[in-house]
Structure 1
Amino acid sequence: MRLIVLVPLLAAIPGAALAKPLTFERALERARAYAPSLKAGAAGVDAARSDSVAAGRLPDPTLAVGIDNFPVSGPPAFSFTRENMTMERIGLEQAFPNPAKRRAERTRAQADIGMAEAGLAVEAQNVRLETALAWIDLYYAKRRLAQLDLLNDSLNDLQTTVSARLAAGTARPSQAFEPEQLRAAVNDRRSELAAEVAAARARLIRFTGDPDADAAGDPPTIEVDRARLMAGVASLPALKSLDAGIDVADADTELARAEKRPDWRVTTSYGRRDPAFGDMVSVGVSIDLPLFTKRRQDPKIAARASDAERARLLREAGERQIVAALDAALADHVMHHQLLMNARDTLVPLAKRRAELDMASYAAGKLDLGSALLSTLAEAEAEVDALAREAEVARDAIRINFTYGDTQP
């Protein structure tokens, strides 16, 4: 029955023999090449660059067609021939925004490109980090699962010993069920770890695009150096994104200031009258007059300047937050490393020694089988816990370096 219950869960997990193995570096390469979010970010950068081509250009000219001086009253009303002032007109108008506005538009377009590139860098960092963590989680979940499988195999030998003792009459009949009870407890733990394997593999598939992804090879050895990490804080994608926000706010401020300078337009038209009279050409220039700046342009300039100041303060706050988060992550890393050393040097050896002594006592008839089996289970749990602590140390190193260190693949 236990096997039947486990089949649906285990069937949902691609077998290691069927899955395509991925080394740690290969997984990162696939994520960089196939992650849809990175392709979307690259498309956003391309869109910003295309927009920048038109920034700061003169607007399209305007074509005007009309009839001037058409009579609607008096003797020549509604006649094209009885009024010598009626003429057909065609003209063009070209607007010339002031140079400061055009420069500001080009600067704003470049700032948009920087913002799009910064956003892509942030997403690339997130994808790289999540892919690395998924690979580490899958690697260690499989190792913990294998550790429980070793215990499950050892129970077969123990079951044979108990059966022999029952046949010889040196064991109580109830002891025949104790290995099975331990096996049931191991299967419960195994089901939990199988679910962790499936979840980690699903995350790895999400970022690599490989439907049969599986962790292969050894995890990377990553050193954590606070001095090196602190030296590169200013170049982190998160802060680069905030820097791009400052550039955008500054460009918007310059655009608002440019509104105080007048734009101008040139208009020319050709008028055709009755053949008995001469045709006419008109040329004109119109200039905007920003005369009421205190109620129109100045408030907008002040608003954009406040936005720029806000962007600078957010940049400062963002850097402080990153430094604080880095120090907190380093403290957790030290703590997790100490826990790992405690497990390796103390907890696992003690659990192993206790299990050996308890099994020896059981063999000598000084301890009941149930207590001996519980010690064996405790040893397995200690081994699995040590692997979990090792995984946490590896996760810390990856999270710290991929978040606060070199973000290049």
Structure 2
Amino acid sequence: MKQCLNTSVLTLLMGIAVAIPAWGEEDGLELSQAIAIAQARDPWLSGSQYTQDALEAEATSAGTLPDPVVSLSAANLPVDTFDTGQEGMTQFSVGITQMFPRGDTLALLERQKRQLGRQHPFMRQDRKAKVAATVSQLWLEAYQSQQTIMLIEKDRDLFEQLVDVTQINYASALGAARQQDVIRAQLELIRLDDRLTSLNQQMEASKQLLSEWIGQEAVSQPLVSELPELTLAMPKLAQASTQLSRQEAGQVLVRHPAVKALDMEIEAVKTGIDLAYQKYRPEWSVMAKYGYRDADPQGNERADLFTAGVAFDLPVFTQKKQDKEVVAATARAESIKTDKALLLRNMLAKLEQSKVKLIRLNERMALYNKRLIPQLNEQAEASLEAYNNDDGDFAEAVRAYIDELDTKIEFLNIAVARQQLIAAINYYLAGIE
């Protein structure tokens, strides 16, 4: 009877595969689909387009002369009679005044608005890359929980049958089945149930975060069962022998859309410096006025009057006004340049960190796939064989198969973490065409 028990146990536990199985062929939500949905329904992209359209319209407006001012007046009316012909100075006049801003202010304002507008295509590219990276992280987290659940549920069925076998053999008082073997099998089953509860919680939490980007309807369907294989935008980064110099990395990162957007902002701020210098120039206005005079009391016609003139201010007190505005504009430009330097330094450090992690994960995957999982499988078989030959413990045999399951789960975690790293690295390489 013991041989029967051992054969049953061997049949059950040998059902655990050595490598990660295919986990089904049913359709589900793919990572590429999730990214496309998230980008298509991202309101920030629409808002950015509206802002760019507004800046383009403002640029045309800013480069246009201000509207002329028309004046109508009745001048020098005698207050005793209000007779328009009594005094020769009395006149009805209509005038027009046109103001001309300082120097090249109009052209510079138009240029600055267009430069700010040209930021937004780069900002949208950066946003799409960020959305792709964020959705990839969340999708892969949900995928990791889903596939871990499937691995455990597959082995849970085996342990349920194992509990039944040990209970039957213990109740029949045949073979070597002991009460502690029954308890051990039940305990492992309870532990698996606890892990399943925790994993379901993690999967549901990840999917709720994912629903912010793709909606509740899309996230309600299961994910595909096959782990997507993301491609590095710069494949040589995954090679341990590749030494990417800081200069080479910098050349890649300066083409990143976030950096290009800052470049356009720097150009706009530099135009602001030129605008500040225009304050040293006078602001001009041109005036023309036509005055109508009524006939004198004797009926003689009086000549009408025409007036023309110019007016301008004199920016002579510049120390506390124009000088300070130039200083402020220059400091603002240097501040944006500092932001660019900090962004590049941060991206460079994260790119180097991700590169090192990716190389080590590749090494771990190779180690697990070629050595660790096969050896754990051999250990599990050896433990069971020892128990069959009355030279081992039932708990050790079960523990060996639990270790194999844990190792397969860890291998899945490594595979998912590798894809998450590739998604993160591809964000930093978004400037590569």
Alpha-carbon offset, residue 188 of structure 1: 1.5
Question: How many pairs were matched up?
Answer: 389
Cα gap change, 1:77/1:166 in structure 2, threshold over 3 Å: closer, same or farther?
A: farther
Q: In structure 2, what is the Cα distance between the partners aligned to 1:406 and 1:369?
A: 58
Q: In structure 2, what is the Cα distance between the partners aligned to 1:106 and 1:44?
A: 16
Q: How does 1:74-85 map to 2 (within 5 A)?
A: 76=80, 83-85=87-89
Report if aligned partners of 1:125, 1:407 keep a CA contact under 8 Å in 2. Answer: no
Report if aligned partners of 2:126, 2:258 keep a CA contact under 8 Å in 1. Answer: yes
Q: In structure 1, what is the Cα distance between the partners aligned to 2:318 and 2:400?
A: 84
Alpha-carbon offset, residue 374 of structure 1: 3.0
Amino acid in the other structure paired with 1:28: I
Alpha-carbon offset, residue 407 of structure 1: 6.6
Alpha-carbon offset, residue 397 of structure 1: 1.4
Q: In structure 2, what is the Cα distance between the partners aligned to 1:356 and 1:81?
A: 124
Amino acid in the other structure paired with 1:359: L
SS at the partner of 1:31? helix
Q: In structure 1, what is the Cα distance between the partners aligned to 2:371 and 2:196?
A: 25
Q: In structure 1, what is the Cα distance between the partners aligned to 2:133 and 2:327?
A: 40
Alpha-carbon offset, residue 247 of structure 1: 0.6
* Corresponding position of 1:381: 406
Report if aligned partners of 2:92, 2:291 keep a CA contact under 8 Å in 1. Answer: yes
* Corresponding position of 1:264: 284
Aligned-residue RMSD, C-alpha: 2.9
Report if aligned partners of 2:257, 2:431 keep a CA contact under 8 Å in 1. Answer: no
TM-score relative to the length of structure 1: 0.84
* Corresponding position of 2:299: none
Q: In structure 1, what is the Cα distance between the partners aligned to 2:150 and 2:200?
A: 10
Cα gap change, 1:79/1:182 in structure 2, threshold over 3 Å: closer, same or farther?
A: farther
* Corresponding position of 1:38: 45
SS at the partner of 1:215? coil
Q: In structure 2, what is the Cα distance between the partners aligned to 1:180 and 1:71?
A: 115
Q: How does 1:194-213 map to 2 (within 5 A)?
A: 194-209=200-215, 211-213=217-219
Q: Which runs of 5+ in 2 are unaligned?
A: 1-22, 238-243, 297-301
Q: Which runs of 5+ in 1 are unaligned?
A: 1-15
* Corresponding position of 2:166: 162
Report if aligned partners of 1:229, 1:404 keep a CA contact under 8 Å in 2. Answer: no
Alpha-carbon offset, residue 368 of structure 1: 4.4
Q: In structure 1, what is the Cα distance between the partners aligned to 2:183 and 2:269?
A: 73
SS at the partner of 1:235? coil
* Corresponding position of 1:151: 155
* Corresponding position of 1:188: 194
Q: In structure 2, what is the Cα distance between the partners aligned to 1:218 and 1:392?
A: 11
Q: Deviations over 1:353-401 (max 9, x none)?
A: 3333333344444444444333332221111111111111111112112
TM-score relative to the length of structure 2: 0.80
* Corresponding position of 2:425: 400
Cα gap change, 1:403/1:208 in structure 2, threshold over 3 Å: closer, same or farther?
A: farther
Cα gap change, 1:398/1:107 in structure 2, threshold over 3 Å: closer, same or farther?
A: same
The answer to whether the aligner puts 1:120 opposite 2:124 as a matched pair is yes
Q: Deviations over 1:315-345 (max 9, x none)?
A: 3343333223211221122222233333334
Q: Which runs of 4+ in 1 moved over 6 A?
A: 77-81
Q: How does 1:326-405 map to 2 (within 5 A)?
A: 326-405=351-430
- Aligned-residue sequence identity (percent) comes to 21
* Corresponding position of 2:253: 233
Alpha-carbon offset, residue 225 of structure 1: 2.5
SS at the partner of 1:95? strand
* Corresponding position of 2:14: none
Alpha-carbon offset, residue 106 of structure 1: 1.7
Report if aligned partners of 2:380, 2:404 keep a CA contact under 8 Å in 1. Answer: yes
Q: In structure 2, what is the Cα distance between the partners aligned to 1:407 and 1:207?
A: 25
